[in-house]
Each structure stands twice: as C-alpha cells, then as structure tokens.
Chains A and B, each alone.
Chain A
Amino acid sequence: MSLTADDVKKIAHLARLGIDSQDIDSYAKDLSGMLDLMTQMSELDTNNVEPMAHPMDQAQRLRTDVVTEHNNREKFQSIAPQVEAGLYLVPKVIE
C-alpha cells in the first residue's frame, strides 16, 4: 500500500501538525514503507481473538469521589507561553 503526497497532507491536517513541503515526499515514502510492513499482519487469522489493551487485562481502577488535587494555578501558569489574569491566552476564536 502506498500513500500519496495528498494523503500525507490530509493526515498532517488531522494531527494539526505542520510539515515542511519539501519533506512531504519523504514522509509519503516512509509511511508507505511502514504500511508495507504492516500488511504482514493480515496473513494471520485473528477472527476469534480478543484485542489486548493492557498486559494484565486490568480494568480501570476507580477511586472515591473526593478532591485530591491541590490548587497549583500559579505554578502551572508560570510555565505557560501567555497568560493574563489567571487565564491562558490564545488568538481570538470568536470575532
């Protein structure tokens, strides 16, 4: 299976990932190579196999519904690119 330059652009858009236009062809080539590798998987019949998400098949642990987090707003905001009055700033979304 091979991916085209347009496929790569589409995937990059889904991932909100900027890629240099001169790299697109090499990504297409690398991803196609990876997909070729993955076609090996279809050789194996997995119809009655349960997918495995956790090595111990452990289910999500639940905890009691109490507040455990401390308020670290100032500490967290001190490492943010842009904040004002306790809020994270981003470019205007709604005109």
Chain B
Amino acid sequence: MHTKTLTELAQGLRSGKFSSLELTHAFLARIKQHQYLNAYITVTEEQALQSAKAADQRLASGNAELLTGIPIAQKDIFCTLDVKTTCGSKMLDNFTAPYNATVVEKFNQAGAVMLGKLNMDEFAMGSSNETSYYGAVKNPWNINTVPGGSSGGSAAAVAARLTVCATGTDTGGSIRQPAALCGITGLKPTYGRVSRYGMIAYASSLDQGGPMTQNAADAAIMLQTMAGFDEKDSTSVDLPVPDYRAGLNNSLAGLKIGLPKEFFGDGLNNDMAATLEIAINEYKKLGAEVKEISMPNLKLAIPAYYVIAPAECSANLSRFDGVRYGYRCKNPVDLADLYTRSRGEAFGKEVKRRILMGTYALSTGYYDAYYLKAQKIRRLISEDFKKALADVDVIMGPVTPTTAFGIGEKMDDPIEMYLSDIYTIAINLAGLPAISIPAGFIRDMPVGLQIIGNYFAEDRLLNVAHQYQKVTNWHHHTPKGFE
C-alpha cells in the first residue's frame, strides 16, 4: 500500500480495497521499521488509529472527502492541540500546543489521519536538517547525506514512504530544497495563500506553508485543503480558491518558459545544467517555447534575505522568554537572568547566530543601512520577476547548486550553507509560488527542477508539473530499501 500515491490510495479507500485502519497500521509499522532515518519527532499512534476508525465510518457513510482516511504527517512547526509541538528546538521540548494551527484544523476536518510530527531544522533555520535539537535526519537515498532543510523530516518521510504526504513550510526554500534533494514534489504557494495561524513564525513576511507529496496531482489535492483566507492570519489574502485539479490536464502547447541567464551561468555545475537541459527539452516536446530572460538584481537576493529573515527572526523569537511556556532555566537570580539563561540554554547555535544578526541589523544606527536597504532591494527583485512574468508564463531553473551533500560537510561554514540557497530565496522575497519536481539523477542522487509562476497561479504550476510527470517517471523512483 505504501508505494501508492495519495490519488491511488483515495481510490482504494473508496473501492474498499483496504480500510484507513489497515493503511494507518501499515504506515505506523514502516515508521517503526525505519526509525533510524529520524524523520519523525513524535509519532501519534493512538490518535492516528482513532482517526482512522472515524475515517472508515465516514467513508462507509458516503460523506467522505478526498483526504478522508489518508495518512498525513505534519511538520513540527504546526501547532497540534494537546500534542507535543517542538519546532525542532529544546526551547519547546516540553511544549504541548493549546490549539490547532488552521492548516492542521483543515486536515482534521477533511478526515485525514495524522501519523505524527516531523523533524526539522530548529525554528526552520537551516538548509540541512542538522540544526534540529532532535538530531539530523538522514536522506533515504543515501543515509550519509542530508535530506535538505528545513522541512527535511517531511521530505525524507515522503521519499521513504513513511507517510503519503506531509506539510512543509518555506521561508527561503525550505519546502523546495529538501523536496529536490529527496526526489519528491514540493510546492511553496504564494505568500498569503495558506494560513500562517498556528505555524510557529520564523520570518513573518516570507514564511509560507505548502504540500510535500510524491507528485503534482497529489499536491493539488493537499493544497485544495490548505489554501484559503483565514481571519486569524492578518496577512492572509482574501481571494477565492480555484479548483486545483481542474486544469491538471490542460495542454502545454504554446506555454512560454523563461530561463534566467543568472540561474544558468557560471555557478551551476555541468552535471546539474545537463540534467536540467534534458528536462527542459521534455517541455519543448510538450509544445512549450523557451526563451532566455534576465533578472539583474537576483544576485543580491542572498544578502537581502540574510538581513530580512534574521531581523524578523530576532523579533519573532523574542516571545520565547521562559515565562509563559517553553524552557525555563533553573534557579534564575533575577528577571534578566531568567530571560538570558533560558534563551541561552535552549536555543541552538544557528538560531543564536540569526538572532544576533537580526538584532544587530535592527539596532540603532544600523536600521537604514541594513533592514531598509534590504527591503528596497526586495522591491527591485520582485519587480524583476514581475517584468519577466509579464512576458513568460513560468520561469524554470535549478533548485539547488548540487545534489544532497554529506552530513556534517557544511556545518562549520554557515556562509557556505547560506550560499546554497541561491536559487530559492529570491522567490520568497517576491512572494511568488514555486514548485520543485523530480527531474533526474546525478550519480544516483535526485535532482529537482524549479518552476516559478505568477502570484496565485498555483493551478498553472501544478498543471505544468503534472504534464511533465505524465511523460517522465522520475517521481516514481523510490530509494533502495524503501520500495
């Protein structure tokens, strides 16, 4: 059962081939069997079995939705009522959320069965899942390599078939980069499309939740449930949600694809360039036209991002003060000691680095030079994209400069780790939607192709991804030992 897609499982549940309870048992057994991947922080076995029983009743009564009875796992950044919600941090190791995130609530309403909470970089700060308090997640394609981050547990779990689908969040590439490194499909929606309520904040003007699945058709089903206006999120955008499955089979004849020369220049290694060229040729066969475009300000995306994200992080993480919830140090002598030691003892090194950077960038005398400057560059980058997307339907490029790197390889050099986000972070600055889909292998490790679309054009991205997946089989590959 675990090799099937979400779409196939939904059909199987309806035709009575298997029950949700059987499905849930099968996945729980796989999670136990492959515990060494460290993809899950918490497994909610009892709750899952109960939800599965309820889902089976709902299926029998005929008022089921597509996701009813489907096993799902939540990135541990989403608050889950009465279930431990850690955000990958010692700070929240003792935290049981008093409410559900809107996204979680929506999946519950749809009758999806939550298997557990997935490992992630601490507070979503990292590109390798190595900053988690709960230890590194292993990439199922080669357990000596990283799965990417920050949604590394989500990507590894979907790739190893320890869940059918998972949620992720993407602030600078945290859905797309692990999806690429683990050979799965990951969609970062337009900023404001999916509610951030109950999604623990890292950089509020960039964070966005999205689906991580085996293929685009499955992502369409998940996004249908996740998307929509939410009064509880003040940056949620009040626009109607289209039917994401309706256009999946539209023809790509005449599709205009833009290839930014800044993405395919010197920084891209030959193997990656060659693999992507084959993928783009596949699109030409489907009737698409390709043209080179230019986005001159793209090179400043990394510095702008590493001002804006840490600045917002330092403000957001000031709520962790050891007073109302989370970690508190032992025997504080006074209030300042309580704050300083609780935060000092419970945050890991990468989180501290970003809090320090952000605090510096926002401090008196530096605000204009850093934060304001970065916000202006953000505008220019977003205008580059707007100009390009007035001329082409989608933009394509790499997701990552290389395939998955070794565990421990980049941990000593944070700057090098930041530079590996080069192809993903500009999209968050602009707030655009983008999807990563499996597009081949380099020495047996998966490669992702990134497709960027216009604001709220998730339906178009899913269509473009789905058409490719109908004529290729990269997304069917499963890592050895997990078939």
Contacts and interface: CB of A to CB of B under 8 A. Distances in A.
Interface of A: 3, 7-8, 11-12, 14-20, 23, 27, 30-31, 33-34, 37-44, 46, 49-56, 58, 60-61, 63, 72, 75-76, 78-82, 88, 90-93
A10 B381 CA distance: 33
A80 B324 contact: yes
B339 A41 contact: no
Contacts of B349: 23
A83 B141 CA distance: 48
> Interface residues of B toward A: which range?
35 or more
Contact of A11 (B231, B234, B359): B359
B101 to A, nearest CB: 16
Contacts of A27: 352-353, 356
B357 A81 contact: no
Contacts of A63: 231
A39 to B, nearest CB: 8
A50 B379 contact: yes
A38 B325 contact: no
Contacts of B418: 34, 37
Contacts of B357: 31, 34
Contacts of A39: 303
Nearest to A82: B328
A55 B332 contact: no
B382 interface: yes
Given A3-B360, A33-B414, A38-B303, 13 more contacts: A15-B314, A34-B415, A37-B418, A44-B300, A44-B380, A50-B379, A51-B378, A54-B205, A54-B235, A54-B431, A55-B431, A81-B328, A91-B332
B210 to A, nearest CB: 15
A54 B304 CA distance: 14
Nearest to A93: B335
Nearest to B340: A18
A6 B243 CA distance: 56
B306 A34 contact: yes
B323 A81 contact: yes
A92 B277 CA distance: 65
- Considering the complex of A and B, which 3 residue pairs feature the smallest CB-CB distances, nearest first? A18-B344, A55-B431, A51-B375
A8 B415 CA distance: 18
Interface string B315-336: 0001001111111100011111
A82 B327 CA distance: 11
Nearest to B351: A17
Contacts of B300: 40-41, 43-44
A68 B302 CA distance: 40
Main secondary structure of the interface of B (DSSP, over half): helix
B234 A76 contact: no
Contact of A52 (B303, B324, B379): B379
Contact of A91 (B95, B235, B334): B334
A82 B379 CA distance: 45
A44 to B, nearest CB: 6
A56 B231 contact: no
B237 A30 contact: no
Interface string B419-440: 0000000000111100000000
Given A41-B377, A49-B379, A91-B338, A55 B191 contact: yes
Interface in B266-323: 297, 299-300, 302-304, 306-307, 314, 318, 321-323
Contacts of B340: 16-18
Contacts of B431: 54-56
B98 A76 contact: yes
Nearest to A51: B375
Contacts of B457: none
Contact of A17 (B356, B370, B380): B356
B94 to A, nearest CB: 8
B108 interface: no
A79 B297 CA distance: 46
A11 B363 contact: yes
A53 B375 contact: yes
A49 B379 CA distance: 7
A17 B303 contact: no
A16 B343 contact: yes
Contacts of A20: 344
A56 B353 contact: no
A39 B373 CA distance: 11
Given A50-B379, A55-B430, A11 B328 contact: no
Contact of B415 (A14, A17, A37, A75): A37
A80 B325 contact: yes
B297 to A, nearest CB: 7
Contacts of A12: 356
A50 B376 contact: yes
Contacts of B334: 91-93
B192 interface: yes
B323 A18 contact: no
Nearest to A77: B324
B376 A49 contact: yes
28 contacts: A7-B360, A8-B356, A11-B359, A12-B356, A16-B318, A16-B340, A17-B344, A17-B356, A18-B343, A20-B344, A23-B349, A40-B300, A41-B300, A44-B377, A44-B380, A49-B376, A51-B379, A52-B375, A55-B192, A55-B432, A55-B455, A56-B192, A58-B192, A61-B234, A76-B98, A79-B98, A91-B332, A91-B334
